């Protein structure tokens, strides 16, 4: 076999094996095929209404553990990813990545700056739910739950969700990324009085 | 051929193979990277959405304001999200629940973080002895999109009732750590897939969800919706007696059981592009049908003619099945009403406002009896408000930043006839208002720990 032929055969085998490995390891490759790593856009102020609008764009867009990228076609483009696998590369945020982008925080945990990340910018941010619960990071501070209003959050060790509106019966409608079977959406929850949850607020909202 | 020459030839062949392998891997990586850096930020679909917390029950002399929030997506990238939604809002209001509506423009109040669009009701409507009804409409200045609150508009307006002379109950400051002991632990199940175990939807690595809802049959048999394993589990006299597979989608759902054993399961998630389903099963778990439910439903209870469902956006209850006939979504929205209709024809209306819970039993002529419960400790949700004779059993949660307990009140015309507190041990998430059920003279509570799920029974005093 000539050298050129050996090269071509080895190339073809390596290409097929590497490609197949990537496909199986990353399931949908939705992030790889749709998202970007562009720099965020700094903004001088953010409002609660503005963050609700950012959150509403993510509604119906799926869930990805460790994720943070979505479009706005109201469809989970990578449904049925294996649970508990952060490497499946699917559409949607997880709960803490969702909060980070909706609260428009900076990667630098000592910064309180406002960063617009855009839907298709893939980023999870430096915080997990437990970090929000413990108010880790300069932009996050602890809040008495009885004072929580829209776009404040309830966080526990394994989950965080933000208030959309409070219901007449004292429950809250929470906008959250809950899990692969749920995606990102608004549901009625009773997090406020649950002692596992703490209140946390993003620093620096402008009205409204 | 000497050994040195053989080695050189083999090395030459090997280097060709290695180069080919490296080139193949590099090609895959480069292809992936090139795709990954393709930056696409398409315009998003425009939307308009409004929220409102209805003043379902008004106290004497109270100023009444109707407040709304409106959110607009203008169909472009998110650059302008912090520009307040420019919208025109109108509320249509009338005294009582009949006759023409009066149109009032909503003014914008930018001084507040919540309830930016506001209308103060004129006295003749706000203080009407029969209360008032209303609905609102918003139109985006930029996109022209409109939305109505509630969705049923004039056909199914919001309803607010005056409490009149209420029975006042002062809870004072709650003393945590003095929860009552249970009379019996009627269900105890480990997490798992066994016949007497309850499943966790996402395992233990993600936020725990499981044992979504429960109810109690007339003979005291407890039925748990094990949504993760898609089963109904029955316990009698503290023992697991039955596990029935049911066709549910396996996500958080509420459940209620009719007196004839019919089981209604309200799912709160749905397949893409579809609405959540209310599923109906007979007592053996055999599917009897399924009905799509409008809006964002969160609770199902048994009403006078079949199951009724709470729509979160409007705080209205909608019929989902009448007799055995499924109700179409447009008909559900058009028949939505404030207050939960009870099987006996009365309604129960609840409103938590600040650290106060208002609850009323309502008949055809208006409020029959009402209570205002004041608490010095913050109040979260009202978990249960079920009639008991001419009174009511109320379960509400009080909380601080690191503690939470439920206060159980048995209320009648004299005020509180029984009061105790129970702990809130809730490791796994369930449907939001599925923690308590009242059956006969007993109150049942669903709780969970990292080890498993339990249902406790608390026997109420006989009046």
Q: ipTM value, please give it.
A: 0.90
Q: How confident is the model at residue B29 (pLDDT cuts 50, 70, 90)?
A: very low
Whether residues B330 and B240 fall in one domain:
yes
Mutate to test the interface with A, among B47, B297, B314, B381 (most CBs of A within 10 A): B381
Q: How confident is the model at residue A24 (pLDDT cuts 50, 70, 90)?
A: very low
Whether residues B66 and B178 fall in one domain:
no
Whether residues B155 and B280 fall in one domain:
no
Identify which has the larger pLDDT, A8 or A141: A141
Q: Express each pLDDT in B174-203 by its tens digit.
A: 999 999 999 999 999 999 999 999 999 988
Mean pLDDT computed over B448-455:
98
Question: Which DSSP helix (H) or strand (E) runs through A162?
Answer: strand A159-166
Determine the pLDDT at residue B273.
Answer: 86
Q: Express each pLDDT in B37-52 by its tens digit.
A: 344 455 678 999 999 9
Q: Across the A/B interface, how many CB contacts are shorter than 8 Å?
A: 273
Determine the pLDDT at residue A22.
Answer: 46
Classified as helix, coil or strand, B90 is strand
Question: Which DSSP helix (H) or strand (E) runs through B28?
Answer: helix B3-36
Residue B36 lies in a domain: no
Among B145, B162, B179, the domain-final residue is B162
Residue B27 lies in a domain: no
Domain range holding B311? 168-459
For B41, name the nearest residue in chain A, comparing CA atoms only.
Answer: A120
Whether residues B232 and B255 fall in one domain:
yes
| Contacts with A48 from chain B: Cβ below 8 Å | 113
Q: Which pTM value belongs to this model?
A: 0.90
- Mean per-residue pLDDT over chain A, rounded: 90
Residue B303 has which token pair?
A: 């009403």
Percentage of chain B modeled with pLDDT above 90: 81
Identify which has the larger pLDDT, B273 or B331: B331
pLDDT at A3 over 80: no
Q: Express each pLDDT in A64-94 by its tens digit.
A: 999 999 998 889 998 888 877 878 899 999 9
Q: How far is B44 from chain A (nearest CA, A)?
A: 6
For B55, name the nearest residue in chain A, comparing CA atoms only.
Answer: A168
Distance CA(B410)–CA(B395), nearest Å, equals: 9
User: Which among A12, A50, A193 is the nearest to B380, CB-wise?
Assistant: A193
Residue B413 has which token pair?
A: 């015309």
Mean pLDDT computed over B243-262:
97
Q: What is the CATH number of the domain that holds B122?
A: 2.60.40
Determine the pLDDT at residue B431.
Answer: 97
For B296, name the nearest residue in chain A, comparing CA atoms only.
Answer: A187
Determine the pLDDT at residue B83.
Answer: 87
Whether residues B116 and B183 fall in one domain:
no
**Number of domains making up chain A:** 1
Mean pLDDT computed over B59-80:
86
Residue B6 lies in a domain: no
Determine the pLDDT at residue B249.
Answer: 95
Whether residues B419 and B287 fall in one domain:
yes
Burial (CB < 10 A; 0-12, 13-18, 19+), residue B84, is: middle
Whether residues B356 and B384 fall in one domain:
yes
Domain range holding A102? 3-206
Do A120 and B23 count as a contact with CB atoms less than 8 A apart? no
| Contacts with B112 from chain A: Cβ below 8 Å | 207-208
Q: Express each pLDDT in B426-435 by its tens digit.
A: 999 999 999 9
pLDDT at A25 over 50: no
Q: How distant, in Å, are the alpha carbons of A155, A182, B73, B100, B429 from that of A197?
A: 5, 20, 31, 46, 12
Residue B3 lies in a domain: no
Q: Which residues contact B394 (CB under 8 A, 6 or more apart)?
A: B357, B359, B371, B373, B382, B384, B385, B408, B409, B410, B411
Mean pLDDT computed over A6-25:
56
**Number of domains making up chain B:** 2
Q: What is the CATH number of the domain that holds A112?
A: 3.90.1720.10
């Amino acid at each position: 076999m000539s050298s050129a032929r050996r090269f071509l055969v080895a190339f073809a085998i390596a290409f097929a094996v590497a490609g197949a490995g990537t496909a199986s390891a990353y399931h949908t490759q939705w992030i790889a095929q749709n998202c970007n790593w562009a720099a965020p856009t700094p903004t001088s102020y953010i409002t609660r209404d503005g963050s609700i609008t950012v959150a509403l764009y993510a509604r119906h867009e799926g869930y990805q553990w460790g994720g943070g990228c979505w479009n706005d076609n109201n469809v989970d483009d990578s449904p049925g990813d294996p649970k508990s696998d952060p490497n499946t590369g699917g559409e949607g945020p997880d709960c803490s990545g969702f909060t980070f982008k909706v609260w428009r925080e900076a990667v630098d945990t000592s910064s309180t700056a406002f960063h617009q990340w855009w839907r298709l910018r893939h980023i999870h941010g430096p915080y997990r739910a437990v970090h929000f619960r413990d108010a880790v990071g300069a932009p996050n501070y602890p809040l008495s739950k009885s004072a929580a209003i829209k776009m404040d959050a309830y966080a526990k060790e394994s989950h965080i969700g933000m208030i959309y509106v409070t219901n007449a019966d004292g429950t809250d409608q929470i906008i959250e990324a809950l899990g692969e079977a749920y995606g990102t959406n608004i549901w009625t929850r009773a997090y406020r009085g649950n002692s596992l949850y703490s209140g946390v607020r993003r620093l620096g909202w402008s009205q409204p | 051929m000497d050994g040195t020459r053989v080695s050189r030839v083999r090395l030459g062949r090997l280097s060709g193979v290695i180069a080919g392998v490296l080139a193949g891997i590099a090609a895959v990586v480069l292809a992936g990277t090139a795709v990954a850096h393709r930056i696409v930020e398409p315009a998003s679909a425009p939307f308009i959405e409004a929220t409102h917390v209805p003043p379902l029950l008004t106290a004497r002399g109270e100023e009444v304001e109707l407040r709304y929030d409106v959110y607009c997506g203008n169909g472009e990238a998110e650059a302008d999200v912090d520009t307040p939604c420019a919208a025109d809002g109108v509320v249509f209001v009338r005294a009582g629940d009949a006759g023409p509506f009066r149109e009032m423009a909503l003014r914008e109040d930018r001084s507040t973080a919540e309830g930016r669009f506001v209308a103060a009701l004129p006295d003749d409507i706000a203080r009407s002895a029969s209360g008032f009804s209303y609905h609102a409409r918003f139109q985006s200045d930029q996109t022209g999109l409109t939305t109505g609150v509630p969705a049923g508009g004039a056909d199914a307006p919001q309803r607010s009732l005056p409490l009149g002379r209420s029975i006042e109950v002062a809870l004072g400051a709650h003393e945590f750590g003095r929860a009552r002991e249970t009379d019996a632990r009627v269900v105890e199940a480990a997490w798992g897939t066994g016949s007497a175990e309850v499943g966790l939807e996402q395992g233990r690595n993600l936020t725990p969800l499981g044992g979504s809802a429960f109810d109690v049959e007339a003979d005291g048999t407890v039925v748990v919706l094990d949504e993760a394993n898609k089963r109904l589990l029955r316990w009698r006299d503290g023992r697991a007696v039955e596990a029935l597979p049911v066709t549910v989608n396996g996500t958080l759902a509420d459940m209620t059981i009719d007196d004839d054993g019919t089981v209604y399961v309200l799912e709160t998630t749905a397949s893409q592009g579809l609405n959540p389903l209310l599923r109906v099963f007979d007592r053996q778990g055999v599917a009897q049908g399924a009905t799509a439910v409008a809006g964002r439903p969160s609770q199902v209870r048994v009403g006078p003619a079949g199951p009724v469902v709470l729509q979160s956006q409007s705080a209205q209850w909608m019929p989902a099945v009448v007799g055995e006939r499924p109700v179409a979504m447009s008909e559900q929205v058009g028949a939505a009403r404030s207050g939960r209709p009870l099987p006996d024809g009365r309604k129960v209306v609840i409103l938590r406002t600040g650290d106060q819970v208002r609850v009323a039993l309502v008949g055809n002529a208006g409020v029959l009896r009402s209570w205002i419960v004041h608490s010095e400790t913050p109040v979260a949700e009202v978990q249960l408000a079920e009639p008991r004779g001419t009174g009511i059993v109320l379960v509400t949660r009080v909380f601080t930043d690191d503690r939470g307990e439920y206060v159980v009140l048995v209320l009648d015309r004299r005020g509180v006839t029984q009061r105790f507190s129970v702990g809130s041990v809730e490791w796994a998430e369930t449907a939001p208002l599925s923690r308590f059920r009242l059956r006969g003279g007993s109150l049942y509570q669903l709780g969970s720990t990292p080890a498993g799920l339990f249902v406790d029974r608390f026997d109420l005093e006989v009046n």
